[in-house]
Amino acid sequence: MSLFNLFLRGGILMWVLLIISFLVIAIVIEKYRLLAKIQKKTGRLMESLNSQDGLESSRSLLRIYFEDSPLSIILTKLYNDTFEDENLLRESLESTAVLEIHKLEKGMGWLSTFAAIAPLIGFLGTVMGMVRVFMNIQGQSQNGIDISGLAGGIWEALLTTVGGLIVGIIAIIFYNDLVQKLENIAKEMQDYTVNQMIRIKQLMSSKQL
């Protein structure tokens, strides 16, 4: 029996799981594409900033890269601050970083939801199939139970659980990997921002001297 025939035997909820699997694939492809793009732009920005030797040249560079990546937005705020209240600056930078990471997380909630509900939908399909099986048993009780028909009904009912578990497992694997990538990006931006704060202080101190 082909996979397509097994899919059809699973019933209408298999189509629901198929739609969810397509949505999971679309979200995963889009998030990996976006994160790869962000990492490339962030690396290019870091390399360019590291080659600058003054505040004005760094500010000019950031005007070019502004809104090109989350890091450029954070650093633009940092380089345009007067450093009169460092605690307030840190809070402002943290708030901006949280907002930018939140933008990158767009769609992750749906991926987490699909990972959770896919197995439940599969289990629902199995329960519905088992209900039909026992209804058939009740109808056959007077004439004797067809064991082969009973076994066929049970394994067909279990198909949706298999499908739901497959979709759920794939979704949770990609979800966890994407979360890890987002955490790495956030830590990288935080570390680089702190280093740039130290660099700005040193440049401002040397100008005063």
Regarding pTM above 0.95, the answer is no
Q: 65 to each of 15, 74, 132, 144, 148, how far by Cα in Å? A: 45, 11, 62, 77, 68
Q: What is the pLDDT of residue 158?
A: 82
d(CA 116, CA 109): 11
Q: What is the pLDDT of residue 53?
A: 79
Q: What is the pLDDT of residue 183?
A: 93
Q: What is the pLDDT of residue 207?
A: 64
Residue type, 125: G
Q: What is the pLDDT of residue 63?
A: 82
Q: What is the pLDDT of residue 149?
A: 59
Structure tokens at 67: 């809104």
Q: At what angle do helices 70-79 and 86-104 cross, to 10 degrees?
A: 170
Mean pLDDT by 10-residue block, N- to C-terminus, for the chain (209 residues)? 70 90 95 93 87 82 79 88 80 89 90 94 86 72 60 75 93 95 92 88 69
HSE-CB for 97 with a 13 A CA cutoff? 21
Q: Which phi-psi region, left, alpha or beta, contains residue 11 (left: φ > 0; alpha: ψ -120 to 50)?
A: left
Q: What is the pLDDT of residue 171?
A: 95
Going from N- to C-terminal start, the domains of the chain cover: 3-208
143: phi then psi, degrees, rounded to nearest 5? -100, 0
Which distant-in-sequence residues (6+ apart) come within 8 Å of 133 by Cβ? 150, 153, 154, 157
Task: Specify the residue for token string 């740039």.
Answer: 196
